[in-house]
Amino acid sequence: MVATGPAARLFSSTPLRRSEFENPFGPNSLAKVTEEEEMLRDAVRRFAEEVIQPRVESMDEAEKMDPEIIKGLFEQGLMGIETSEEHGGAAGSFTAAIIVIEELAKVDASVSVLCDVHNTLVDTVIRKYASKHLQDKYLPQLSESKLGSFCLSEPSSGSDAFAMKTSCRKSDDGKHWVLNGSKMWITNSAEAEFFIVFAQGDPSKGYKGISAFAVEKDMGVEIAKKEKKLGIRASSTCTVNFDEVKVPVENLIGEEGKGYKIAIEILNEGRVGIGAQMVGIAQGAFDKAVRYAYERKQFGKSVASFQGMQFQIAEAAVQIEAARNLVYNAARRKEEGRPFTKEAAMAKLYGSQIAESVSSLAIELCGGIGFTRESGIEKYYRDSKIGAIYEGTSNIQKQTIFKLVEGEMGLK
């Protein structure tokens, strides 16, 4: 007998009350933030505009970070965002850290990456993988006064990060690890007092011979050549040398030979941070350029009143919004404990692309004044280029995305 009644629905169409959507991880826009996160955004924006902005040009010219900026970041509680209150941190969300990175980059990408590396890489490694002893010892310092640095890349191991030559071995008395070798292109290295260092203990094991260590500068870390860069010039990028540096055995982070796992997992979080930095660069350049386009008069009216300009501005606004949604989506997925490797790669890849394209457009919107260093517009363009390179090149991100899509489709 054939049923004649209404077919059973595959879903419910009952409308839910607004209150049922208030959870930031529920069915809301990706830009939905908590009250605390919004307050943080406002506070960081004020700090960036009032404290950082007046120093941006001089820091870029000098290629040096103003110590007062670093001090201010600590005083504002921005260097231990996810760290527990017990360890002197703000006990905030990962998205809160992403918001901070984005807001800082709207004013200065150099300050943004300093804060980014410290929070998403250094702090997170100690929080997630270090022993309680190391957490109790270093997290309060990292929250309150000591800048951290992440030492992975080497002259012969960039994208192939695990081809590292820096070595580690146990001392004869078994009380120390002894580190030898050099790291290159290390962010924050000139000002840092604390380093997370990856080293190879047994080359025959390949990447499974790599371990991670918590290293204090006064253990014998040598800061060598400081690179002169195209962009993010106030952010220090140096060679870091280790010559028979003795590190207490208890400063091993996680298990011996598991450093590769730490590096892989932590860089996913770092890539979301770089995506946020790139969105901030794009938004900062966009805001300055559009305001100027309204002020600049040609043929008796503002440049922004011409349709050709309006279309370009509209396209840039769409690109920035798309990139921001990729970044926030990756951040929320990370907080939910869901896989986010593909989303992090997408956020970094597209963020770096739109940072470069939007900041380039910003120069054109401003004409001759945009090409001058006095305007500050061209700095966004210079700063954007690093997004396609550090914490995994664009080609590495594309490779990651492809492999994950391939797996999702059951093609491998």
Give the domains, in start order, of the chain with CATH numbers: 31-146 (1.10.540.10), 149-257 (2.40.110.10), 261-407 (1.20.140.10)
Task: Report pLDDT for 12.
Answer: 46
Collapse the DSSP code of 243 into the 3-class scheme (helix H, G, I; strand E, B; otherwise coil) and give the result: strand
**What tens digit of pLDDT does each residue of 131-166 get?**
999 999 999 999 999 999 999 999 888 788 788 999
Q: 230-289: per-residue pLDDT in tens?
A: 999 999 999 999 999 999 999 999 999 999 999 999 999 999 999 999 999 999 999 999
Check residue 157 and give its pLDDT. Answer: 84
Give me the residues of the chain with pLDDT under 70, please.
1-28
Q: Which one-letter amino acid corresponds to residue 277?
A: Q
Beta partners for residue 150, in sequence order: 196
Look at residues 295, 318, 310, 315 and name the one whose alpha carbon lies nearest to residue 370.
Answer: 295
List CB contacts of 196: < 8 A, sequence separation 6 or more: 121, 122, 125, 126, 148, 149, 150, 151, 212, 213, 214, 215, 253
CB 263 within 8 A of CB 111: no
The token pair at 31 is 């830009």
Q: What is the pLDDT of residue 6?
A: 55
Please tell me the predicted confidence (pLDDT) of residue 279: 98
Which pLDDT score is estimated for 18? 47
Strand pairing category for 176-187 and 167-170:
antiparallel
Q: Which pLDDT value is given to residue 21?
A: 44
Q: Maximum distance among all alpha carbons in the chain?
A: 85
Residue 244 to residue 266: CA distance in whole angstroms = 27
Write down the pLDDT at residue 402: 97
Q: Name residues whose C-beta falls within 8 Å of residue 51's C-beta, 6 or more positions apart in sequence.
A: 68, 69, 72
What is residue 258's predicted lDDT score, i.e. its pLDDT?
96
Question: Which residues are known catalytic residues?
Answer: 391
168 CB-near residues (< 8 Å, 6+ apart):
177, 178, 179, 199, 200, 201, 211, 213
Query: Degrees (nearest 5) of the Cα angle 328, 329, 334?
Result: 95
